[in-house]
Every structure is written in structure tokens, then in C-alpha cells.
Amino acid sequence: MRFDIYKNPLNTRYASYEMSHIFSDDVKFRTFRKLWVELARCEKELGLNISDEQIKDMEENITNIDFELAKKYEKELRHDVMAHVKTFGEAAKSAASIIHLGATSCYVTDNTDIIQMKMAMELIEKKLVILIAHLSKFALEYKDLPTLGYTHYQVAQLVTVGKRASMWIQDFLMDYDELIYRKDNLLLRGAKGTTGTQASYMKLFNDDEDKVKSLDEKIVKALGFKGSLPITGQTYTRKVDYHVLQVLSSIAQSASKMTNDIRLLQNRKEIEEPFEKNQVGSSAMAYKRNPMRCERASSLSKYVINIVQNPALVASTQWLERTLDDSANKRLAIPEAFLAIDAILDILINVSDGLVVYENVIRLHVEEELPFMATENILMEAVKRGGNRQDLHEKIRNYSMIAAKRVKEEGLNNNLLELLENDPDFKMNSEDIKDILNPKNYIGRSSSQVEEFIRDYVNPVIENYNTEYEVQLNV
């Protein structure tokens, strides 16, 4: 390994081998050759003078790629596709004269891009479902555990730990639906010729439109797609790239929301991401347990959310049938967006599989705030016992100010309940107040919502997948 040149951290630190391999030269140029084989096979079936021996020669050399020779040809020709046409011809000599017959470069480059994106989306699909499965298990386990809710990052009505996790799951489930829609409706460019008119194929097939249409359909079917775009220029519309990366951006948004929540809760010492035995939280402060996994996922999420601007700019600035200012951008933006999302999902799978919940701390925080939340219920009960609603409300308001001052200015415990208990107008003892203060009286339908959501929405998705998967993070 060389250490004197820049290496992309997405490959060296974050993304999985599987995702990196999908966007490798090996997969890319083997796909070129598969496309050339299918083109020749379909052209032969439709009557062109191509032999079985030529097709067999091509098939036997799909993986026999001389990258050094291709590099030499590209330096000479300044054209990557023609360099690989020649390299393939050197390997499959009998077929050299018919490789790429009637095609434009985008026949292989664009169709390959779409094939690679579909492969990458299938890997993302698998990991997204695994994450949802892990979070669902967590949500069910903690569906009954009351915890402080927050609005504006200020204490609000109680929720449960599992209910909050269900909010994360719902976001990812929405992402899953979008991913499936885009993946299942991804169309190839097909065999459309130089400017999308199929003129070269019309020439090959003596203006037989049915054969030209059949060629496109046969190739698409052989490659496992449900169709090709009905209209193209030289390239498929670059809105396809934007739509695909929009889904990745959506996953990144969900990941950022989840990891930010965990980071806030880790500060409260309520929930903590996994922390390994020999892990160092800070080089200076030895006591620290930084949420570094969630921070990394959040950081990569920002990158993905930002990178979706690239295909948006490309799609909006393509001229007429095509300009080449898309190419360099696509080579960077599309693989890197997938690599980053792959890394994010691996991190979140790891985190969700080992989240630590500190139930006693959560209960302590609830107990500190519950007196304020319970005042309305206490007021109602005191009125039932003969008290005057307006007089008691004013007393609760005054006692609340006293208790809040004691907590904020003196650093002492919240004594609101003690103040209320000692006031004879409330006609309530400690046991009466204790009954009112059961946290489960304040979580509404949280537990049922979790159960219903997992049963009705999540399980029908995850039951179709194998969710056994162990992540090994590089750092």
C-alpha cells in the first residue's frame, strides 16, 4: 500500500468491501463486456452476420481483462470506451470486428452506471432492513419505559424509550419505501444509438423498426430490467441520478436525526452507544466516553445530504442531447454517495445492536420533573375532595415558582410535592400523591403505539429478509 498519495477515506476507513467492489473497475468493465455480449447475441438473433463462435469467444473472456493494456490504449486514444473495445478484441480475437457494433459509448457507460446503481441499492436495501429490525427489537424491549419527552429541547410530556425509537424506525421505513420504488422502477438506457434516435441500428437492420425495437427489448430483458427509458438523448436523462441520490439523502437525514438524538441522550447519561473495553474517549480527558460512532454517522450524513446537489446541477445544465460535463462529476458523486450511506448504515447497525439504556438515570430524571407535570392531575383530585379550583391553582403556581427557584438557584431537589402535601387545602397525603405520580399515567398510548406500529407496518417488511448480520467497523 502506498502512503505517498491521497486515498479516499470512504474506501480505507468507512465503507464495506461489498459496496466498494460494486463501483470497482473490475465490476465496471466486466459489465461493459456483458453488455457487448448481449448486444452481439441479440443482433445475431435478429439476423445480423454474427457467429456462435464469436459470441462464445466474447463470453469466455468477460473476466479476462488486461487493465494495463487498456490503460495503454486509453493513453493513446484518449477514449476509455474505445480503449476497452480494443482490449476486449485482443482477448476475444474472433469477435474483434463485431464488438460494439452499432453502439455509442453510452450504450456501455450509461447502462453500466444504472446496473451498478441497482446493485448498490440492493445492498443498501438489505442493510436498511437490518437496521430497522434491530431498532424494532429495541423499541419493543423498551416500549413501557417512561422517559422525559422534549420539545424545543425543553422537558415536555412523558413518552417511552421505545416510542422514541419508533420515530426513528418510521423515518427509515419511509426511506425504505422510497428506495424500493426507485430500485424497482429503475430503467436502463438500452440500445438507443448516438443521439437516442436508434439511427445506427436502423441502418444495420435495413430500416426495420420492429427489429430495432426488439433489439432494445431483448437486451433489457437479458439484463434483468423491466424496461428501458422510452426517450433518451445520447445519455439517459440525468434526473435518474438525482432521483436515486435523493433517496440516499433521505436515508442520511434519518440517520442524522437518530444519531443526534442519541448524542443528546448520551449527554444526559440516559442512553449510550456501545463503548468497547479498550476504547479511548479523549486523548486528554481519560474519563470521557464520546459518542464517536454516532458522530461519524452524523458527519457522513452531512456529506451525503450535500452531495445530492451534484446530480441536481448536472441534470439542470445538460445541453440538448448531451454534454460531457456530467462525466467527471458522476464518477465522484454517485459512488461516493453510495459508499457513504453504506458506511452510515454499518455504523447504525452496530450502534443499534448495542445501545445501552441506563434505566435508573432515566427514572431519576422523570422523578425530578414529574411533580410539575402532575400538578394538573393533583389539582383535579384536590377539587374532587372539596377544594376551590381557582384558589388551588394559584397555590400550585406559587409553590411551583418556589420549587423551581430552589432547583435552579440553590441546586437543591424539587420539593413541590412536599409543599403541596403540607398544605391542608389539598387534603392529600403522600400515598395519595404517590398514586397520582405513577409515570405510566402520563405516557398515553405509547406502549400500544409501539406494538401496533411494529406489528402492522414493520414486521410485514422485515419478515421477508434475513436480518442476521454482524458489522465489523474498521475504526
CB distance 35 to 84 below 8 Å: no
From the list 372, 375, 352, 245, the residue with the least C-alpha distance to 309 is 245
Which set of grid coordinates corresponds to residue 347?
Answer: 455504523
Which residues lie below 8 Å from residue 169, measured CB to CB, with a gap of 6+?
132, 135, 136, 139, 453, 454, 458
> What is the 8-class DSSP label of residue 332?
H
Residue 147's DSSP bridge partners are 159
Residue labelled with grid coordinates 475504526: 475
* CA 134/CA 321 separation, integer angstroms: 46
* Contact predicate 419/402, CB 8 Å: yes
CA distances from 328 to 67, 243, 323, 324, 335 (A): 20, 19, 11, 8, 12
- Distance separating the N- and C-terminal Cα atoms of the chain: 18
Rg for the chain (alpha carbons), in Å?
31
CA distance 313 to 248: 17
DSSP 284: S
Catalytic residue among 97, 282, 299, 448, which?
A: 282
Instruction: Based on the residue annotation, tell me whether 282 is a catalytic residue of this protein.
Output: yes
Q: 106 near 178, Cβ under 8 Å?
A: no
Query: What CA–CA distance (Å, rounded) separates 195 from 186?
Result: 21
- Report the b/e string of 226-235 with b at 16+ CB within 10 A: eebbeebbbb
- Does 400 qualify as catalytic in the annotation? no
Cα separation, 140 vs 459, in Å, equals: 12
Question: Which phi and psi angles does 460 have, rounded to 5°?
Answer: -60, -20
Burial of 363 (0-12, 13-18, 19+ CB in 10 A): middle
Active site residues: 152, 282
